[in-house]
Each structure stands twice: as structure tokens, then as C-alpha cells.
């Protein structure tokens, strides 16, 4: 006995990327450029991401965790110039 699966064309489409945001969206949210996000990705400094073809996506929860991990109780002061 063989069972056949039927596809129901009236079902709602899956929203597979509901928990993901694009590089453009994240750059806008963080008020940085997409080039900065690209540079961070190359240096493995930024939030974890996923590539689908040429598109880059970030999971919202991963971005939130990454931001929390970068939080500092007292900002590090950088010296400028010679002393």
C-alpha cells in the first residue's frame, strides 16, 4: 500500500526568516554602515551571522546576546596622541 502526499496550495506560506534580520536592517538599527558589519564579519568581531546566497542575515536573539556581551560597566578610555 503506498501513501501519496498532497500539497495544499491554500495553506499559508512559511515565514522561515521571521527571527532573522538583514544586514541592512541591523546596520540601520545600530546606526552603523553595512560596510562596518562586513568588516566585523571578516574579522569575526561582530554578531554571528548566516549567509543565504549573497544575502547575510542575523538572528535577533544572537545580536541581543552579542550586544550584552560587549556591555562594559566602565568604558575603557583610549589615549589619543603622545604623552
- Across the range 55-72, mean pLDDT stands at 94
Strand partners, 59: 20
Residue 83 lies in a domain: no
Q: State pTM to two decimals.
A: 0.70
Domain that holds residue 41: 20-68
- Across the range 23-48, mean pLDDT stands at 96
- Across the range 43-66, mean pLDDT stands at 95
Chain mean position to CA 34: 11
Residue 76 lies in a domain: no
Residue 8 lies in a domain: no
Cα-Cα end-to-end distance for the chain: 85
- Across the range 22-42, mean pLDDT stands at 96
Q: What is the domain count for the chain?
A: 1
User: Is the predicted pLDDT of residue 50 greater than 70, yes or no?
Assistant: yes
Amino acid at each position: 500500500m503506498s501513501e501519496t502526499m498532497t500539497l495544499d496550495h491554500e495553506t499559508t506560506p512559511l515565514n522561515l526568516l521571521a527571527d532573522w534580520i538583514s544586514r541592512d536592517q541591523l546596520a540601520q538599527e545600530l546606526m552603523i554602515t553595512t560596510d562596518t558589519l562586513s568588516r566585523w564579519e571578516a574579522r569575526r568581531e561582530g554578531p554571528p551571522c548566516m549567509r543565504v546566497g549573497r544575502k547575510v542575515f542575523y538572528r535577533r536573539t544572537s545580536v541581543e546576546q552579542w550586544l550584552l556581551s560587549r556591555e562594559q560597566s566602565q568604558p575603557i578610555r583610549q589615549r589619543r596622541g603622545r604623552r
